[in-house]
Amino acid sequence: MQTALVIGNWKMNGTLAEARPLATAIRDGLKRPRGVEVVLCPPFTALAAVSEIVKDSAIRLGAQNCHFEASGAHTGEVSPPMLAELGCRYVLLGHSERRRECGETDELINHKVKAAVAHGLTFVLCVGETGEERRQGLTFPTIEGQLRAGLAGVPVESIVKGVIAYEPVWAIGTGVNATSAQAAEVHGYIRGLLSELTSKETAHAIPILYGGSVKADNVEELVAAPEIDGALVGGASLNAAGFIALAKKAGRAGATSRGD
């Protein structure tokens, strides 16, 4: 990994009146971020406005979801080409909130991954176990199932251009993050699976992000841990000053863990 990757997932937050000043402040606070690539994922309704604000800046744009078709009779959905047209480079797929609230299955998520690839978007495939699965010792099988199914039939050359986010469901929005040791253990496991699906050399180039209650005061420890290449940040991405501090710390921590 050359640089840490920090993605702000605003979820269903951000009217235009809120999104514009937030994106502007983040852009202005991260003019030349060192050692970190920063991506903002506002809600669909704010993508065009945020795209305009971050164009020609160091900040990249992403979406929180997409449909797997390019167009058609899918009321309420948004397609990959629509996102690409707005300047999105990234798209989150398989977030646990969508798996839980919208019933997204691994098979559906796999269709979306393929569609993102076909339209030149970088997919961020989210995987993670629930608290119950962890208690039952099912963390690794859960992650393995989600990862293999999500990437089924995706060619190696496309897998290596993607991003994986490990987001333990019990850590999302709870204020209880996985410890760096807990996260590093699962990241190492994911790296091993990616090595099987691609090759040992190429698997190392695929960013594996940690997500779940990441804040400015725990990001350094997490990103400095082995196999953690960045962070997917929900709640803490809604405060400009806090998110700017978090991104800068991730850049420094990534550099330290790489020995730069």
Amino acid (one-letter) located at 110: N
Other Cβ atoms less than 10 A from the Cβ of 195: the count is 15
Residues with catalytic roles: 95, 167
CB nearer ligand PGA, residue 127 or residue 184:
127
CB nearer ligand PGA, residue 54 or residue 214:
214
Torsion of CA 92, 42, 84, 108, to 10 degrees: 30
C-beta separation of 109 from 94 below 8 A: yes
Residue 101 CB, nearest approach to ligand PGA (Å): 12
C-beta separation of 39 from 7 below 8 A: yes
Residue 200 CB, nearest approach to ligand PGA (Å): 28
Report d(CA 219, CA 228) in Å as an integer: 10
Q: Which tokens in the block code for residue 179?
A: 């410890």
Instruction: Outline where DSSP puts E strands in the chain.
Output: 4-9, 36-41, 59-63, 88-93, 122-127, 163-166, 208-211, 230-233
Residue 33 CB, nearest approach to ligand PGA (Å): 19
Residue 76 CB, nearest approach to ligand PGA (Å): 22
CB nearer ligand PGA, residue 62 or residue 212:
212
| Residue number closest to ligand PGA, CB atom | 234
CB nearer ligand PGA, residue 96 or residue 139:
96
Report d(CA 248, CA 235) in Å as an integer: 17
Interacting residues toward ligand PGA by CB under 6 A? 9, 167, 172-173, 211-214, 232-236
Give the closest residue to 226 by CA, choosing from 254, 195, 197: 254
CB nearer ligand PGA, residue 94 or residue 197:
94
Residue 135 CB, nearest approach to ligand PGA (Å): 20
